[in-house]
Amino acid sequence: MKRLLLFLPALMPFLLTAQEAHTHADGTTHAAHEEETATTSATPGADHITVYGESDKYELTLYYPELTAGQEAHLTLYIADYQSNRPIEKAELKISTLENPQIAFEVMMLSPGVYELHSTFPENKTYTLNVELNHPNGADLIGVKGVAVGQKLSAETVVAKEHSDSNSWMWFIGGLGLGMIGMWLLSRRRNRVLTAVLVLASAWFSTPNWNPAFAHGDEPHGPDSGGGGYGKSVFAPKETQFLFEILTQPIAVGDYQSATTMFGTVVPASGGLGVVVAPQSGRITRVNVAVGQTVRAGQTLAILQQNIGTSEQVGIATSNSGLAVQLEIAKTRVTASKRELDRLKKIEDIAAGRDVQAAEANYNQALSELQTLENKALGANTAANSRTVALIAPISGVVGTFTLTPGAEVVAGQTLLSVTNLNKVYVEAQVYDRDVAVIRAGNKFLVTCSTDDHKSAEVRLISQAQTMNIGNQSQRVLFEMDNPRGEFKIGEFVSVKALNNSTSRQITVPNSALTEINGKTAVFLKHAPEEYELAYVQTGEDDGTRTLILKGFDEGEKVVVNGVYEVKMMYLNQ
């Protein structure tokens, strides 16, 4: 019992922090939450105040710091499309105030959807900005109420948090020290290991980062109200939404085309995979390409030098040796005949004419024989060089992985290089007897990847089943798919959707809107310019691009369709 009493000081910071520093789902304390609830048009933050305005076309979010009458004011205006949350860029803006039409505003676009406003307010009071917006999406006039000149930023939340953290650590250090000293003195030798474990456990429980996981018993927390003990709503600053391209889409009842799902594999199309094989044994003398390089059909990829047998080498050596001797003899004859001809020409006035003519004829004959032998030697060298083979690309595409290097020995029939062209691929689908009826040439077929990025593409039926899978007795049906960006890879597992001809009126969402939290399918709905809500949904079948929603929300909501992962991370980390 005495050891337990000495252990309690180490737990005191945990008990006090869980009571005093308890936070709400929006991240504020009790006092801050009450003050924020009372504020309707302006929301003070740590470094700026935020006000909103919207119409059926545009959504305005205005950030501004503390404003003082008579001093130049810098305000940041975020303009987004009301339905899609896409930034509105290059909009023409004219801004005025109801309270004082003489106030002038300068507008400068900083980035898509982000505009900086410069002005000077003459009095400390609340203003309403009239934003006249001209854009190809349509002209509009929107009022932004609650621009409070003279209002101070609310710092209560920051001060309370710092005070709570300071107290927690002070209690932690004091309690931990007392607990360690007391328990170590009272523990016998065989219990010191257990005592050390308990002290470390008390340190873990009393850390400030762990305490907020506890909540009062009368407030909803846990999976029913959000993920992992958090609230359902998540705050996302407008600048963050633009940075992560968080886009939304209105939910509406529309035509839904049911589909039959099959499974398949991406395989090379005809002419989509080229393999370079060694035509004979030899040695690689040059490699002209690198892995991943794009090549064209007929381009030389490498040079192969043939291996020559012993008998061929002896024959070539003997032939070249005899030819070399003949060349030397011919060169000697040319030199001697040229020397005799030059001598006779010097004494041509006293030498007999027939001797000069004979010498000249002898020289010309020797020169002709030398040229003949030289041409023969050149032909022999060409024949020797013709034993090199150029390895060329069979198709245009991308060079695959290889390990060839200059000097490497290869054998006949060895696969040396491969070239892949993914512009067009085939999908081999497994179709069971119950689904054979939906495989008709007139139906529409979609292929979807098996990963979470939800790639999809339309495919064409090119061949009905010709063979059966021996293992599961499914039929192999072949589809053709255009793949210009190379999104689908050879060997990738995919789903094939055969869309039925009948349609029905249902609520659907794009597959990109779906995520998973706590093992359940969910979406994020937009409720305010900077507020999103997690909604768990019950899904039905999907057609490859959209999924049927059976339960979870109604028509008219706006669901996040791009940037879902980023919103999910903000939700889990709040």
* Domains by residue range for the chain, with CATH: 48-148 (2.60.40.1930), 240-268+423-573 (2.40.30.170), 273-308+388-420 (2.40.50.100), 310-385 (1.10.287)
Decide if pLDDT at 463 tops 70.
Answer: yes
Q: Can you give the pLDDT at residue 75?
A: 95
Could you report the per-residue pLDDT of 33-80, keeping only the tens digit for each?
A: 333 333 334 555 568 899 999 999 999 999 999 999 999 999 999 999
CA separation for the pair 249, 148 (Å, rounded): 33
pLDDT at 218 over 50: no
567, two tokens: 């919103």
Give residue 163's identity as a one-letter amino acid code: H
| Contact (CB, 8 A) for 520 and 536 | yes
What's the pLDDT tens digit per position in 65-122?
999 999 999 999 999 999 999 999 999 999 999 899 899 999 999 999 999 999 999 9
Judge whether 148 and 42 are in contact, CB under 8 Å: yes
pLDDT in the model for residue 355: 74
Confidence band (pLDDT; 50, 70, 90) for 255?
low
Residue 115 structure tokens: 């505009």
**CA nearest 564: which of 244, 95, 105, 305?**
244
Number of other CB atoms surrounding residue 429 within 10 Å: 26
Mean pLDDT of the chain: 76
Least confident of 39-43, 261-265, 322-326, 487-491: 39-43
**What local confidence, expressed as pLDDT, does residue 123 receive?**
92
Is the pLDDT at 209 greater than 70? The verdict is no
- Pick the range with the lowest mean pLDDT from 32-46, 252-266, 298-312, 482-496: 32-46
Q: DSSP 3-state assignment of 256?
A: strand
Q: How far apart are CA 233 and CA 530, in angstroms?
A: 10
What is the pLDDT at residue 344?
A: 74
What integer is the mean pLDDT of 545-571? 87
- Tell me what pLDDT residue 204 has: 45
Write down the pLDDT at residue 12: 42
This prediction has a pTM of 0.50
pLDDT tens digit sequence for 334-386: 888 888 778 777 776 666 777 777 778 888 888 888 888 777 776 666 555 55
Give residue 437's pLDDT.
66
Q: What is the pLDDT of residue 242?
A: 94
Share of the chain above pLDDT 70, in %: 69
Give the chain's count of helices (H) and strands (E). Answer: 8, 31
Instruction: Report, in this order, helix, strand and coil percent for the chain, each rounded to 5.
Output: 30, 35, 35
What region does 140 belong to: left with phi over 0, alpha with psi -120 to 50, or beta?
Answer: beta
Cα distances from 75 to residues 72, 95, 107, 110, 529, in angstroms, run 10, 12, 10, 12, 17
Quickly state the pLDDT bin for 544 (edges 50, 70, 90). Answer: low
